[in-house]
Structure 1
Amino acid sequence: MANFTPPFPLDRDARRRGEDPQEMEALFGRVLSYIYHALPDPPVTADGDLCILFDDDGGGIDRLSLLPDTLLGNIVSRLPIKDAARTAVLSRRWRPIWRATPLVLLDTHLLPGGDDVIPNHLDRASSSAVVAAVSRILDAHPGPFCCVRLTCCYMDEHRAPFARWLKLFAVKGVKELFLINRPWPLEAKTPIPATLFSMAELNTLYLGFWMFPDTTGLLRGAAFPRLRELGLCSVYIDAWDIEFVLSRSPVLEILSFEGLFLPLRLRLVSNSLRCLQVHSCKLDSLTVVDAPRLERLFLRTYESEGLKNRIKIAHAPALLLFGNFELGKDELQIGRTIVKARTGADPSATITSVKTLDVDVRFGIRSDAKMLLIILRCFPNLERLHIHSKNTTESTGRLNIKFWQESGAIKCVLSRIAVMAFHDFRGERNEIAFLKFVIESAPMLRMLMIVYANGYFGSRDEATSKTKALFAGKRANDHCLLAVCENMQADGGLWNFQKGSDFSCRDPFGIVQCSSFGVGHWYV
């Protein structure tokens, strides 16, 4: 972000607030990049071109135009918006195809470069040109639109055309809508019109840098009858508005939050929701009251003023994946029981459906280690375990393998866990003691992946010397496969909502980017 330039001069305003302009510029670019990374991939790409081959002399037979209208429309719908419009000049045969085809409108394709990349820097002239182009396209095409993705407009400066667009989106049957504002300074105090609730055909909605409409005064019929996926990024929204949306979205399956401005207080009651993702938010409380179809619960939150993030799971019988749970920061309640290290295991505080767990542990803190034992007992049918070893300057003493061995039986370790990934490994004694305990106690363990902390070891030989010692003694499974790699990103990388909500991906917590060492697989 070193070369990032804001669209408006910020120096005077930032200094009036007592803020550093350069820090504000860097923050603006960083937050935008987080949001852009979180968004699902667009359905079309600027890399695709419409090519009609001719003979060397420029003549030949136009066989493509002989295809049925349905196929021609399918071709046009997969093109960037400029190329789709240009098909009308190919021949008389193509002229009605463009107007009759449901289109994809990505405003990045309207910029001079015309590529898929959403720019962090965008000047006023480019934004105004995009606004004018979008207005022309919406006037020229009768709809419907498969997808409209607007990320290159300073919508605060163009409120009149934007309000008109929303009405046209409703009339022209937009199915996927992405509205990412570009406020400057970094705020989200512009209210988005309640016209949003008139889009009956909408099945995907992502909002960025807006104030969500106040739902208290909406008509009783306001609803999203076909909305399947909702993403709110850097949005001001109150708890009752979230509950309103849940109650008026009968088929909503995917709900995602990124960097909300207010601490999130969520009571989850939904008969349709399958995936909930909360990333880079302050979490006051999350209560899964009744979510019979919920399969995935992803949490990567900020600590709120030193208070614990309260997570209560009352009824989620289909829950398969849960994480990232941070020991020492998050408080888990299952049913009526608050899970605590000092209270020991409670047979009633278990979730038998969960197969994959992702958890942060400070192995140098004894209370974290004790809590890990209790958490593992809460998920007796766990098959995949992701452990993130968090570095800490605190220490409450070393824990040897005897500590783990004397902790008592853990059902998932003894009979279930087949895959374990240990992230941010630094070769510390407390880490090695836990890994040895698992290797000696888990007969079903067939794959152990050790991911070294970024930049911690200088060579593969240095890194693997630590791991080979783990298998020097007793093993519960002689055929356990070991994989070793280094995390390429010091912070663990950004989260992508599409990755988390891809139900065909069994383990979205899995390693995405591995190291300069490569990934070594071998029996030991």
Structure 2
Amino acid sequence: MATEPPHPKSTGKPQGQPPPPLGAGEEGGGGCFCGGDRISGLPDAILGEIISLLPIKDAARTQALASRWRHLWRSSPLSLDGGDLPAEGEVSRAGLVSRVLAAHPGPARRFSVSALQLLLCPSAVGSWIRSPALDGLRELEFQIGELINLQSPLPWLPDSALFRFSATLRLATISRCRISEGAVGALRFPQLRELALESVRISEESLQSMIAGSPVLECLLLSRSVGFSRVRINSRSLVSIGVRDFSGELIIGNAPSLERLLQLELFRDLRVSIVSAPKLETLGWISDRDHYFKLAFGTAAVQDLRSVSATAVVRSIKILAVDILTLSLDMVLDLVRCFPCLEKLYIEFFLSVDRNSWCRKQHDVIRCLDIRLKTVVLKNYCGTMSHVNFASFFVLNAKMLESMTFEGGACHNQRFIAEQHSLLELEKRVSRSAQFYFTVCRSQDKNLTHVKHVHDLSITDPFEYRC
């Protein structure tokens, strides 16, 4: 038994003497190097790649290291994040962005600025988009940022931002703006793989057109965006979809590559219909606290988590996260029947009215149900008899169980853990290799996944605890 999930092992290198300063050992400003400076001897192309990965203020400063480095920043791919620039206020930062674009000839890999610039400095944004330094741009981001006033009016995203980079964009994050009706209608995004629309006003027709015009799109994030009440997904390339604060209907019509469908925050009145997604493995969070909730997999419909149909069977789901008002063993076992290949189950609950006694009424279930669960996580676990009865069912019957985590309050001290060890009969666990962890609550908000950026939608298990 353990009290915390194991931490990743350190991969730190042995300590030794610090390397000489970058550029040290150069003579006469030529290309030669001596002493310990092996970096300067690398080809320009490799050095340019290294510089492009640095924050913009550090990348530009490499010109001052030595004569060997003076031309490298200007010839390396530009990666400009306005948030890395030292400035007081967005107007001041806009001036620095303009200076960087004027100093660098391009091409650009990434351009990221606050969405507030669209509101405060529209003319500057227009000039940035036209800048030759952004030729061939791959990643465009108008980020919400921490200081933006969410009550301010939504500015228009310049149509030129989409037209200018439509052929080369691989990632687009558009925040806090309005997208015009005709901006994406005639466009195709042949290389776009990741798209995030955060607090954006866009029509249903424009959204559908944008998705349809992106034939290799893999990750789609819709966060607090408005202007549409329904999204219908027909995409052969989409692998992950994340939605946040969306009140409407999400229809997965034909998505042969879809593996992850995520509701990133618990939000009511989301109706999901899945017609065809044969590779869908990760699903959550889904909730029983709204009578509008509906989840349909072709002909197998789950109308309400509180009364899952015995005929609804979906074999592709391996990772499931559910939010239920009342912890109920009967409900969860119905879900296990519905998703018979389930390997990881995350449960957040708030009440426990039922005692969840199972020794008598669940004998038939034990005989006929093949429980393949390897991971179970219980959030808000308090160790009451109802909680103990629920958890002990899986301790004593889940033959493939590898780990079970009890996440609760600060009362999870050594005395509490010892008492739970006895009540749960952990020494009688049917899976002898199973590990049990008692932890404190890790999140006080409703963002119960690790998805903060559209990149994160590629995480296989976005619900898994990370140190």
The TM tier, using the shorter chain, reads 0.7 to 0.9
2:370 is aligned to 414
1:282 is aligned to 246
Q: Does 1:234 align with 2:234?
A: no
Measure, in 1, the Cα distance between the counterparts of 2:118 and 2:239: 32
1:520 is aligned to none
1:53 is aligned to 24
Q: What is the CA deviation profile of residues 263-288 of structure 1, one whole-angstrom value per residue up to 9, with x for unaligned ones?
A: 75221111100001113x13311111
Equivalent pairs, count: 435
Asked which structure has the greater RCO (Cα within 8 Å, sep 6+), the reply is 2
SS in 1 for 2:365: coil
SS in 1 for 2:370: helix
Kindly tell me: are residues 410 and 383 of structure 1, through their superposed partners in 2, closer, same or farther at Cα, counting changes over 3 Å?
Answer: farther
Which stretches in structure 2 are left out of the alignment for 5+ residues? Answer: 1-19
Cα-Cα RMSD: 3.3
* Kept in 2: contact 1:296–1:322 (CA 8 A): yes
Q: Does 1:273 align with 2:238?
A: yes
Q: What is the CA deviation profile of residues 225-278 of structure 1, one whole-angstrom value per residue up to 9, with x for unaligned ones?
A: 111111122222232222111100111101112233457522111110000111
Q: Does 1:203 align with 2:170?
A: yes
* Kept in 2: contact 1:414–1:441 (CA 8 A): no
Correspondence 1:262-411 to 2 at 5 A = 265-279=230-244, 281-304=245-268, 308-329=269-290, 330-340=293-303, 345-347=309-311, 349-363=312-326, 370-389=330-349, 391-392=350-351, 397-402=354-359, 405=362, 408=365
Which stretches in structure 1 are left out of the alignment for 5+ residues? Answer: 1-48, 113-124, 514-524
1:159 is aligned to 122
**TM-score after normalising by structure 2:** 0.82
Measure, in 1, the Cα distance between the counterparts of 2:21 and 2:110: 20
* Kept in 1: contact 2:115–2:176 (CA 8 A): no
1:23 is aligned to none
* Kept in 2: contact 1:377–1:410 (CA 8 A): no
Kindly tell me: are residues 427 and 68 of structure 1, through their superposed partners in 2, closer, same or farther at Cα, counting changes over 3 Å?
Answer: same
Measure, in 1, the Cα distance between the counterparts of 2:216 and 2:23: 42
Measure, in 1, the Cα distance between the counterparts of 2:464 and 2:450: 13
2:15 is aligned to none
Kindly tell me: are residues 503 and 250 of structure 1, through their superposed partners in 2, closer, same or farther at Cα, counting changes over 3 Å?
Answer: same
Cα deviation, residue 109, structure 1: 2.2
Cα deviation, residue 202, structure 1: 0.8
SS in 2 for 1:416: coil
Cα deviation, residue 350, structure 1: 2.2
Correspondence 1:58-69 to 2 at 5 A = 62-63=33-34, 65-69=40-44
* Kept in 2: contact 1:223–1:248 (CA 8 A): yes
Once superposed, which parts of structure 1, at least 4 consecutive aligned residues long, lie more than 6 Å away?
none
SS in 2 for 1:195: helix
Amino acid of the structure 2 residue aligned with 1:486: V
**TM-score after normalising by structure 1:** 0.74
Q: What is the CA deviation profile of residues 121-145 of structure 1, one whole-angstrom value per residue up to 9, with x for unaligned ones?
A: xxxx532221111112222222111
Kindly tell me: are residues 512 and 83 of structure 1, through their superposed partners in 2, closer, same or farther at Cα, counting changes over 3 Å?
Answer: closer
Q: What is the CA deviation profile of residues 410-456 of structure 1, one whole-angstrom value per residue up to 9, with x for unaligned ones?
A: 97x6241122122221123332222122222211212222222x33x
SS in 2 for 1:440: helix
Measure, in 1, the Cα distance between the counterparts of 2:251 and 2:364: 30
SS in 2 for 1:213: coil
Amino acid of the structure 1 residue aligned with 2:333: L
Kindly tell me: are residues 474 and 84 of structure 1, through their superposed partners in 2, closer, same or farther at Cα, counting changes over 3 Å?
Answer: closer
* Kept in 2: contact 1:212–1:235 (CA 8 A): yes
Kindly tell me: are residues 410 and 434 of structure 1, through their superposed partners in 2, closer, same or farther at Cα, counting changes over 3 Å?
Answer: farther
Kindly tell me: are residues 263 and 512 of structure 1, through their superposed partners in 2, closer, same or farther at Cα, counting changes over 3 Å?
Answer: farther
1:448 is aligned to 404
* Kept in 2: contact 1:179–1:207 (CA 8 A): yes
